[in-house]
Structure 1
């Protein structure tokens, strides 16, 4: 999860007046005396229309590494904008409601995207691992008898937030971890198989996610099946 600055930190957009420029007074240079915005010039024989600027060269294609950084930044900005708005307008109750709505929407989306022959649990854990790898987290997947364990030794999302804070960005949350854990466990509760429990344990700048099947745990506790052999 990427939680960060209010939208104004990344760059605000000034609102234009709802009135048309034709009804607003302008100065001699064609600017509104209240907003300072230039109004469009009307064509007249004494005032020829301004030329429309044209681009002489096509922009160079972005380097793949630059694209990756840009997508990270855009996702970070969008998430920050949503969180800042919800928290500022609706408070903690709004954040909780958003987590429930987000988990429902995401679980429905995962259901439609799941590859044929892949379990919902495997699909969910793979998605979570890719999400962590998107920010270069040090994450590994370990199959266990009871399910799957994702070990996130160093979370790249936390590292990215620290870099943003060092650059003067005001972060929305002191830590994104509680939000991330609550959201992803809520998604899992709606999506994975009914006998599977997904949980998370945080440790330092990392965390461990577990997807455990109750049936597998019960089988381990019962020991190996009786194969009908004799005891000497």
Structure 2
């Protein structure tokens, strides 16, 4: 995660039970974390060194592209959540988690590579999502399944930097939304005998995908199948 570099002013919005800082015209810099509502946007001059429009053709370097794609995703994610919170409140946000989990599970089902179990696919996606924010994540295969240890969450690290920079954090923590959404996705997608759970500890968390059966087999010994259509 990174602090806002767009030159936009961060703003405070109304309270909610979920947590996320505001940045880039008041929008959330997190994935799967609820966004607060914002006031009308106001433009400020970009900081020194910010690229400006020219008549000459140019391209972004890879690092700039990564930063810009993150920012654009943050803005789109936050806009959707901001509308839901503003129009429908906490009940609307809970309904959005269920709808989001269904849509994502169906997408994962369509994208799953041949020969890869739904559980492995889900856990790999979750690991890559955490790595996107430079989290310190390791994957540990165990007899009962897979364990992802997120020792230093990039989202929480960003929030600390943002708070030190004077950003007002309106929610207490981004973790409940992240955990609720991803466990809801898993419940719709992974094999029926697999349980996905999360335990928060300090500035990180541990995700477990556990099954009482041997990997690759269900209770009857047949291959696992996803359940995106549940």
Does TM, normalized by the shorter one, top 0.5?
yes
Secondary structure in 1 matching 2:171: coil
How much is the aligned-residue C-alpha RMSD, in angstroms?
2.6
- Ranges in structure 1 where 5+ consecutive residues have no aligned partner: 15-53, 218-232
Runs (4 or more) in structure 1 with deviation over 6 Å come to none
Tell whether the 8 Å contact from 1:147 to 1:210 is kept in structure 2 after alignment: yes
Higher alpha-carbon deviation: 165-174 or 99-108: 165-174
Structure 2 unaligned runs (5+)?
A: 2-18, 28-38, 43-52, 216-230
Hey, what's the Cα distance between the residues in 2 that align with 1:109 and 1:12? Answer: 34
Please tell me whether residue 86 in structure 1 is matched to residue 84 in structure 2: yes
The aligned counterpart of 2:143 is 145
Q: Tell me, what secondary structure is at the counterpart of 2:141?
A: strand
Whether 1:5 aligns to 2:28 is no
Q: Distance in 1 between matches of 2:80 and 2:163?
A: 18
* Change over 3 Å in CA distance of 1:55–1:75 after alignment to 2: closer
8 Å contact kept, 1:197–1:212: yes
Once the two structures are superposed, residues 56-113 of structure 1 have per-residue CA deviations (whole angstroms, 9 ceiling, x without a partner) of 311x211111211222222222222222222222111111000000000000000000
Equivalent residue for 1:107? 105
Counterpart position of 2:55 = 56
Q: Partners in 2 of 1:76 and 1:159 — Cα distance? A: 16
Structure (1 or 2) with the greater helix fraction: 1
Aligned to 2:126: 128
Give the alignment's TM-score, normalised by structure 2. 0.69
**Are the equivalent residues in 2 in contact too, given 1:84–1:172 (CA < 8 A)?**
no
Cα 1:6/1:69, change in 2 over 3 Å: closer
Is 1:154 matched up with 2:152? Answer: yes
User: How many corresponding residue pairs?
Assistant: 177
Distance 1:167 1:76 in 2: 19
> How far off is 1:157 after superposition?
1.3
Alpha-carbon spacing, 1:92–1:99, altered in 2? closer, same or farther (3 Å): same
Contact kept, 8 Å, 1:4 with 1:77, in 2: the verdict is: no
Greater CA radius of gyration, 1 or 2?
A: 1
CA 1:84–1:68: 2 relative to 1, 3 Å: same
**Pairwise CA distance, 1:216:** 4.3
TM-score w.r.t. length of structure 1: 0.69
Structure 2 equivalent of residue 208 of structure 1: 206
